[in-house]
Structure 1
């Protein structure tokens, strides 16, 4: 019985570690060979990786704010996120704005997005997103729960785009590809289940439903934008989706009234 359980858990653990290895700088040990199917299946754990990042940033903030001003503690938490992810999503956000802002044809946009240099559109967009993130986190009496929710749910939104959008190949030799190019029904359900469990843990049911409706609408807008610009998505688009969704979540929580009070970690009500 125990052996059968281990045989079932081990492949899933490999998929989780694979997701961690791609989206963070955390060193993990993986099998010598990873199949394309495993790459696709690991997408079910992208939200779990977001949960891990959110918890880590929250812990670092909680430790920092005990000894430092809140402004500095927030910056340290943001820096921790950049370090642990290698600014992976922020890079995609900047590349998307450089490409969409500087290119006319799809080919031009994709070529600009491949370029490792940062342009004016990308630099401006990067400044805006980081400043918005900082100001939003500062508006919370305590950003601990907001960090966990936003890091988790934003990856649900971004990853779900793989399910019903076409991947746009940059070129035959490009190495800039998303980890997964296919999202199965099982992986999609696992992804949503992770986001739902985390949301219900921290938010009342009504606010949880409203937040999901807002994110569903925002996801539709992102899909429309990417399809209009590229007729599909790239890995950079997923990074941009994650970053923008994170901001939408912070702003939504502030609209809900959590800006002047702390979120309860147990009952999901204002304490």
Structure 2
């Protein structure tokens, strides 16, 4: 039992990041879906490293520099995995006229106008928000936001149907999908850092993250009938942004 859970955790790390991990033995097709319970834990790992970078940079520089360096390290750790989903979703959902065309655009490796604008607005607002906080507060907000963003993505995996059947899809769910108990585990693993924040800040973070995450999720449901991997990336990114905005509104 412990060995299987460790394999699922390593699978989540391999799927979501570029961090080196031991090779997985006996890989099973449903491991990525079953490992979703650990996505927020991986998010906290990434967020924790970014928070340490922000704290270290804050000893040398003021203003935007620590925030931008921390965000840059996050991009390196994940390979821009979620950001790529945000850009592709913005292009596909914003530019396609039919369901088939939207899915086709999402699979195109080129980034269009909508994708560039989405990245600039989301990443720019993250950096600006972090820059309003003292280094210790910004580090806490960044750490917590990474967990919240992944919780939102797991919730969407459980709530919406997966609609891509392409062989090159980033994510292929198990037939039974993400189970409610796995969403609960993900929430427990991903939301505990909010205990370190003021209660009002925790409420604001969850509330704004939920509102912003609902936007791409509901739009994807209406325009393509459910979610694909790119939509999960978009949900994670905007939920992360919402968490940062909510925490900063109180911490600042």
TM-score, scaled to structure 2: 0.91
Post-superposition CA distance 1:34-89 (Å, at most 9, x none): 11232221000000001001100011111122223442222111110000000000
State whether structure 2 residue 238 is matched by structure 1 residue 244.
yes
More deviation, 67-76/78-87: 67-76
What's 1:119 paired with?
112
State whether structure 2 residue 95 is matched by structure 1 residue 102.
yes
Higher Rg? 1
Counterpart secondary structure, 2:24? coil
- The Cα of 1:209 is off from its aligned counterpart by 4.0
Are the equivalent residues in 2 in contact too, given 1:154–1:243 (CA < 8 A)?
Answer: yes
- The Cα of 1:179 is off from its aligned counterpart by 5.9
For this pair of structures, how many residues does the alignment match? 248
Are the equivalent residues in 2 in contact too, given 1:14–1:30 (CA < 8 A)?
Answer: no
Q: 1:154 aligns with which of 149, 154, 163?
A: 149
Counterpart secondary structure, 1:192? helix
Post-superposition CA distance 1:220-241 (Å, at most 9, x none): 4443211112110000000000
What's 1:26 paired with?
19
Q: CA RMSD in A?
A: 1.8
Residues 246-265 of structure 1 aligned to structure 2 (within 5 Å): 246-256=240-250, 258-259=251-252
Q: 1:232 aligns with which of 226, 232, 239?
A: 226
Question: 2 CA distance for matches of 1:120 and 1:205?
Answer: 39
Question: 1 CA distance for matches of 2:34 and 2:13?
Answer: 13
Gaps of 5+ in 1: 1-7, 260-271
Gaps of 5+ in 2: none
Post-superposition CA distance 1:187-231 (Å, at most 9, x none): 11111111332222x124454345434444444444321111211
Task: After the TM superposition, list the runs of 4 or more consecutive aligned residues in structure 1 that deviate by more than 4 angstroms.
Answer: none
What's 2:193 paired with?
198
Question: 2 CA distance for matches of 1:73 and 1:13?
Answer: 33
Distance 1:136-1:179 versus aligned 2 partners, 3 A rule:
farther
Question: 1 CA distance for matches of 2:212 and 2:71?
Answer: 23
TM-score, scaled to structure 1: 0.85
